Amino acid sequence: MPLHKTEHKGVLGWIDQRMPSIMAEYKKHLSEYYTPKNFNFWYFFGSLAIVVLVIQITTGIFLTMHYKPDARHAFESVEYIMRDVPGGWFIRYMHSTGASFFFIVVYLHMFRALLYGSYRTPREMVWIFGCLIFLVLMGEAFFGYLLPWGQMSYWGAQVIVNLFSAIPVIGPDLSVLIRGDFVVSDATLNRFFALHVIAFPLILVGLVAAHILALHDVGSNNPDGVEIKETLSPSTGRPLDGIPFHPYYTVHDIMGLGVFLIVFFSVLFFMPEMGGYFLEWNNFIPADPLQTPSHIAPVWYFTPYYSILRATTEPFMVALAAGLAVYALLLFFTLRSRVAKYAVLAVSAVVIVLMVGGPLKLDPKLWGVVLMGASVLIFIALPWLDCSPAKSMRYRPAWHFWLLIGFVVVFLVLGYFGTQPPSPVNERFSQIGTLLYFAFFLLMPWWSRMGEFKPVPSRVTFAAH
């Protein structure tokens, strides 16, 4: 076979003649990946998420060199890393701070998608892979949280694994299968270590690759929600509003990274525990299977979903069933297909019976788990729920933007109440929050069409600086 014809000289030319895919991929994903030129602040968080992933993997490798996944030694090995291993405290704090920052960055990245409709056609696959990344990240964080074997590690794992036991019929056996024991024990710690260190990181890296490949197939969205591939230069055939990712956005992102690292290390050096939010106080007490701490709460990034779980009590089931009934009627009168109309009625009737139907009803505990799962998975449905004629909030009615902000507030309020001890006030606020949370998504097919839309331009808005 003859050598590949190359445009490069020297060593690079020699390599390119023999393995042309290196330069081909470099061009496809970097030097000739045309990116909208009007990116703003919100577009830093994708590359920052990759940086945090690299930080987590690197620090994680070094932590495993000293950590012992054994119920008798785990807690003390973490303290050993903190006190006796040279540089150990820095590596460990990078990992624990990195975990929280991973979620901060990912939440902001997701908010950007909601703001500019980045999940809309043709980017549904990008969005689905993104949602899967989010799910796997939650699993990864959960497994990792058991490893220090503190009180919060232990009881947090106890609560979350027991969520699975709420599933009818298979639940109790399933939770034993997950724990590998009848209680959270050394077997649980050992397998969570394996999942945290090998299985989930591999899945995560694979999903990130799929997310980026899917993105580069369709091209990036932008704050205007304009498809830059629709306006090509007649001479070059390249998008007129696009610039090569490298060097323009690599340099741009390095500036963003600089700001990010200032914030990251300020937290790491001055408040690594972040007032008990990044590292909870109770986790500095070794796990005690005989005593639950007087106040337990998950780490902050799980608390909105945890609030939804706690909100689901017996009296709340009536409100949920009523909400579902109203929603079913709404669907009945708006769906066109006859089959769909009656299918919706039938399915809703069955679910309502299972919610409040006397002897047939399932425990609120199970519904809490179902709602908590639904609150995360519902993000996947966004491309189909959002029916707005304009992708970007810039061209949607102003109140759509304020509705989105309202959703963020509900999310934060749920998050706040999830960190607090249970109380009647807490419960009521969480219930209202839960209803609003789901209403935002489930009513989106209606509200996203309403109001005055502004005309979407054919070119992006951009002022050269």
Partner 1 sequence: MASTSDAHDAVDSGRRAALVATGVVGGAGAIAAATPFVASFTPSERAKAAGAPVEVDLSGIAPGTMKTVEWRGKPVWILRRTPEMIASVKKTDERVADPRSLRTAYPTPDYARNELRSIKPDYLIVVGICSHLGCSPVGPLAAGSNATLGDDMGFLCPCHGSTFDLAGRVFKSKPAPDNLEVPPHRFLSDSLVLVGDDSKA
CA 422, 423, 429, 431 torsion-angle sign: positive
Closest approach of partner 1 to the CB of residue 327, in Å: 25
Name the one range near partner 1 by CB under 8 A: 19-27, 119-127, 160-168, 444-452: 160-168
Packed helices 303-311 and 364-377: angle between N→C axes, nearest 10 degrees: 150
Residue 210, both tokens = 């799929």
DSSP 51-96: HHHHHHHHHHHHHHTT---STTTHHHHHHHHHHTSTTHHHHHHHHH
Q: 245, 33 in Cβ contact below 8 A?
A: yes
- What does the alpha-carbon distance between residue 163 and residue 157 come to, in Å, rounded to a whole number? 10
Longest dimension (CA), the chain: 79
Q: Give the up-direction half-sphere exposure of residue 124: CA atoms within 13 A in the CB hemisphere.
A: 9
Provide the token pair at 267: 């937290």
Stretch near partner 1 under the rule CB under 8 A, chosen from 59-67, 97-105, 117-125, 422-430: 422-430
Q: Which two tokens stand for residue 125?
A: 């696959």
Out of 247, 276, 421, 457, which residue is the one contacting partner 1 (CB under 8 A)? 421
Q: Quick one: which of 408, 375, 422, 434 has its CA closest to 108?
A: 408
Instruction: Rule CB under 8 A: say whether 3 interacts with partner 1.
Output: no
Residue 176 or 208 having the CB closest to partner 1: 176
Tell me, what amino acid is at 381?
A: A
- Rounded Cα distance, 68 and 73, in Å: 6
Contact flags string 268-297 toward partner 1, x per CB under 8 A: ---------------------xxxxxxxx-
Binding of partner 1 by 424 (CB under 8 A)? yes
Q: Does 196 bind partner 1 (CB under 8 A)?
A: no
Q: Which stretch binds partner 1 (CB under 8 A): 16-24, 323-331, 339-347, 358-366?
A: 358-366
Per CB under 8 A, 230 contacts partner 1 = no
Minimum gap (Å) between residue 133 Cβ and partner 1: 25
Which residues in 360-419 contact partner 1 (CB under 8 A)?
Answer: 363-365, 368
Residue (31 or 423) nearer to partner 1, CB: 423
Give least dist CB 190 to partner 1, A: 11
The nearer residue to partner 1, 181 or 217, going by C-beta atoms, is: 181
Could you tell me the smallest distance in angstroms from the CB atom of residue 361 to partner 1? 11
Contacts of 135 (CB under 8 A, 6+ apart): 376, 377
Q: Applying CB under 8 A, does 155 fall inside the site for partner 1?
A: yes
Please say which residue, 86 or 424, places its beta carbon nearer to partner 1.
424
Binding site for partner 1 (CB under 8 A): 155, 158-159, 161-163, 176-183, 185, 187, 191, 289-296, 310, 312-315, 363-365, 368, 421-424, 427
